[in-house]
Amino acid sequence: MIEFNTHPDKYQHWTIDFDCPIATLKLKVNEDGGLHSGYKLKLNSYDLGVDIELHDAVQRLRFEHPEIKAVVLTSAMDKVFCAGANIKMLGLSTHAHKVNFCKFTNETRNSIEDASRFSGQTYITAINGTAAGGGYELALASEYIMLVDDGSSTVSLPEVPLLAVLPGTGGLTRIVDKRKVRRDHADYFCTITEGIRGKRAENWKLIDELVPRSKFEQKVEERAIEFANKSSRPTDAKGIALNPLNRKIEENRITYDHVSVEYERQSGIVNLTIHAPDGDLPTDLESIHAAGANYWPLAMARELDDAIMHLSFNELELGTWVFRTQGEADQITIIDQTLIRHQEHWLVREIILNIKRVFKRLDLASRSLVTLIEPGSCFAGTLLELVFAADRSYMLDGTFEGGNEVPAMLRSTEMNFGPLPMCNELTRLQTRFLNDPENVENVRAEIGKDLDAVFADELGLVTFIPDDIDWEDEVRIAVEERASFSPDALTGMEASLRFAGPETLETKIFGRLTAWQNWIFQRPNAVGEQGALKLYGTGKQAGFDKKRV
């Protein structure tokens, strides 16, 4: 089982040095610290375990260190920054692991960009050696790239000529969309194995600054201070500790404090239930800070994130995720109102941004998402996003026969109208009503009100509203039918339908991960017996099928 919970005390590959207001993340990969056996992580090459630590470090820097305003990514190895994803590891991995690995890695890169853009915690990269493939892609996630000018240090994306695959964590998209590298320059750059160094790298916009080795450390510090001085993060605030999750894993269930997960293995279904909090809730900044990682919206988001990552990597055959909620909608409304009221505060801002990233990860999950809205549920505000994220939603019209609960209701809050955008930078409501913005305003007009099934259907918020007579059969047939389809076809269909509207850096990257990388990673030219990925390091020439498809 792949474990995503870690702590700096357990890191094997990264160290964090603090010199307020700057933190330095140094990569020195433990060659023998691979997640699986059969390969050594030489030359600061990485596997999923290295990225799990990086993901954890990025999260902790945001929540535990508000005083940190700039983060330097660099290497603790001499003349080697990062050689990218370990090729031997890729050659030994299943297809599913390779694609999920690329997706998780890119989600981590996105969180770095998110921190620079929204949190005032700007990342810069100090490339003090060779940065190849995924190593350069890591640098591309930062806002500013510095390269040591020593005659040998280079940047490269050699996947096409070397491995017959693509820079799978956004390299192609970031060099042209983010760094605005000319297409002809990018074409040349991506078809050579030796990379580009010196002035050409700077002139072609592959880096931002070229620095002699004798002045490298000094210049990196100067640039980090420049970025830190532009930050709005507080200087004297105290962070909160991201304590380990309270989680119990059993054969057919996972139990957290606020999220429960149950498997129906025979039918390939996962039932995920999110529970609203009980009792009094923090409504002022002091009590929110005192609650820390136990504050419900942060705790719930961390638990849901962990569940998504666990299911994505460890439970590949459970292809349909069914979401429910339980509890009082009033509790969720109070939480949302509190978050909106204090959204300018650094900690509350980080909580909202974290919820946004978790829901983005859900959007990108290669699973069918179904939401069931029943009596006793609390799909309000933040949790209402689960209805809009679903591929389909079913809301019971009325109550179940013999039940004494209040009929199922939906309730929108301000959280549904901006703070939690998708990868396309639209809200899920805007994406749902892409060419009908008046429909979004119709929902906004009912903000804070309980909407029954008929009204929710009229507003376009749900897919179907069966009554109690038809409920069980309609839901069962829908879920069973889903399980009968090709998982490959569903993955492609769902990813294509979820991100209507404008293309962004993120939608382009994940669209290519879903389609191109999924396809190329299965082609004989890459992974066949004579494929480049299989023969890498053997000295043998790959045998390519020359037909273009």
Residue 229: how many CB atoms within 10 A of its CB?
A: 10
For 315-335, write each residue's pLDDT tens digit. 999 999 999 999 999 999 999
What homologous superfamily is domain 249-492 in, according to CATH? 2-enoyl-CoA Hydratase; Chain A, domain 1 (3.90.226.10)
Task: State mean pLDDT over 293-317.
Answer: 97
Two tokens, residue 239: 């962070």
The span from the CA of 195 to the CA of 230, in Å, is 33
Two tokens, residue 279: 């009792």
For 157-202, write each residue's pLDDT tens digit. 999 999 999 898 899 999 999 999 999 999 999 999 999 999 999 9
Q: Virtual CA dihedral for 423, 426, 429, 432, nearest 10 degrees?
A: -70
pLDDT for 400 equals 92
Q: How confident is the model at residue 28 (pLDDT cuts 50, 70, 90)?
A: very high
Under DSSP, is residue 74 helix (H, G, I), strand (E, B) or coil?
strand
For 62-86, write each residue's pLDDT tens digit. 999 999 999 999 999 999 999 999 9
Q: Between residues 413 and 518, which one has the greater pLDDT?
A: 413
pLDDT for 84 equals 96
pLDDT for 515 equals 77
pLDDT for 471 equals 97
Residue 247 φ/ψ, nearest 5 degrees: -140, 140
Q: What is the mean pLDDT of the chain?
A: 96
Task: State mean pLDDT over 389-395.
Answer: 98
Task: State mean pLDDT over 38-50.
Answer: 97
How does DSSP classify residue 196? B
Q: Is the pLDDT of residue 514 over 80?
A: no
Q: Count CA atoms closer than 13 A to 205's CA, side-chain side.
A: 14
Segment holding 275, helix H or strand E: strand 269-275
pLDDT for 158 equals 96
For the four alpha carbons of 293, 298, 300 and 306, in that order, the dihedral sign comes to negative
The architecture CATH gives domain 8-229: Alpha-Beta Complex (3.90)
In the chain, how many H helices and how many E strands? 23, 20
The span from the CA of 324 to the CA of 274, in Å, is 6
- Residue 484 to residues 95, 113, 320, 481, Cα–Cα distance (Å): 22, 39, 11, 5
Return the minimum-mean-pLDDT range out of 172-176, 255-259, 409-413, 527-531.
Answer: 527-531
The span from the CA of 341 to the CA of 338, in Å, is 5
pTM: 0.96
The domain locations on the chain are 8-229, 249-492
The span from the CA of 484 to the CA of 496, in Å, is 20
pLDDT for 364 equals 95
